[in-house]
Amino acid sequence: MAIEILMPALSPTMEEGTLAKWLVKTGDKVKSGQILAEIETDKATMEFEAVDEGVMGALLVAEGTAGVKVNAPIAVLLEDGDAADASPAAAKAAPVATAAPVVVAATATPVAAKPAGERVFASPLARRLAAEKGLDLTKVQGSGPHGRIVRADVEEAKAAPAAAPVVAAAPAQAPAAKAAMPTGMSAETVMKMYADRSFVEVPLDGMRRTIAARLTEAKQTIPHFYLRREVRLDALMAFREQLNKGLEARGIKLSVNDFIIKACAHALQAVPDANAVWAGDRILKLKPSDVAVAVAVEGGLFTPVLRDADKKSLSALSAEMKDLAARAKSKKLAPQEYQGGSFAISNLGMMGVENFDAVINPPHGAILAVGAGLKKPVVLKDGKLGIATVMSMTLSVDHRVIDGALGAAFLKVVVDVLENPIAMLA
């Protein structure tokens, strides 16, 4: 039987991608788990593994093809017994797909038995695993193309209690129709305005389209408000210098941003009601401090997430942040490494920006915009004038999730920890 290999959804938000590179060719034998292709999403380049075993009958989408819709056929895999006669037909019949995206089927659980005599479509590996485990394939619903049973279905069915009652999943509710959002001037209108001027037209890639859509959504749907504080960094700078001398032999150098990450992680624990995200018709309060940090990359930005940041040492956070940033710039992050978190940090201080207001990255409840540390005249504790290194911070807050007093309490903890940095070691 010929099996259509479909464009996978490599992240929850992926609708289309670029088939960057094939790692197999027509006629190759394919094993389950073998890497078939490299696929570019709007954020990363990821490897795509085979689920079934067989012979590659046809590659339907050429390398470098962009805009391939999720669940569109990209190749045909043949079972060994079908290879001799099915490959030409499959290659001829299968179009280069542009099918509309559909919902990706979840891993199946056992359901009521199929009618007697009905053929069961399953991959060779799934059949072998089922035989080893004594599993009746007629009682398993497949999640592969056209309901085909694959390895994951067998493994999931094996894990499910045999006598457990089957409850049909409620059909997903279609999202409520949204009023059309204003899109601004059309491309044709704008280009006519500049018809007599010299310009270079830059087409939008997947990353820029996603950034544009998400930030437009954020500013149109999230009720932002802003809280501003200044932090005196002199104690932190001295503390950082002392720590870096002790860490020099290990090749570790802490940045000011590492301290900011740690301070925010601490504040999310100290003010747990601020550790929250907006979930459409409810608020989710998170227990861990999962802090996202904006990283500029060519053509856009990533927000890799440092999970359980409150439980990690400064040196561990520093090493993890360097690794995530390096892989973000080469687009090698997995989706779980840049999705999630409840809170984000955007630091433009290293570029000399004194202060700014950041846009919240949904579904986060807040984002901290960090400016440059500058020498400024200040009033010292004894009432005399002096000079201190002062850094401006602006907390952008989703008012649906966090109220003003709560946001102020959170920001106060961040400031207190940064001005008394030894608390980060406790």
Q: Which residues are designated catalytic?
A: 399
240, 402 in Cβ contact below 8 A? no
139, 111 in Cβ contact below 8 A? yes
Angstrom CA distances, 144 to 5, 126, 301, 326, 334, stand at: 9, 11, 34, 35, 23
Identity (one letter) of the amino acid at 32? S
CA distance 237 to 244: 10
Task: Output the CA angle 364-366-370, nearest 5 degrees.
Answer: 125
Identity (one letter) of the amino acid at 193? M
Q: Show Cβ contacts of residue 86 under 8 Å, excluding neighbours closer than 6 positions.
A: 1, 2, 57, 78
Angstrom CA distances, 5 to 72, 82, 86, stand at: 8, 16, 15
CA distance 12 to 20: 20
Angstrom CA distances, 310 to 287, 303, 395, stand at: 11, 18, 19
Q: What are phi and psi of 258, to 5 degrees?
A: -60, -40
**Quick check: helix, strand or coil at residue 82?**
helix
Range list of β-strands (E), 43-103: 45-49, 54-59, 65-69, 73-78
Range list of β-strands (E), 153-273: 224-232
**Quick check: helix, strand or coil at residue 5?**
strand
273, 318 in Cβ contact below 8 A? no
CA distance 65 to 19: 5
29-30 β-sheet, strand order: 2-6, 73-78, 54-59, 29-30
Block residue for tokens 């942040």: 321
Q: What are phi and psi of 92, to 5 degrees?
A: -75, -40
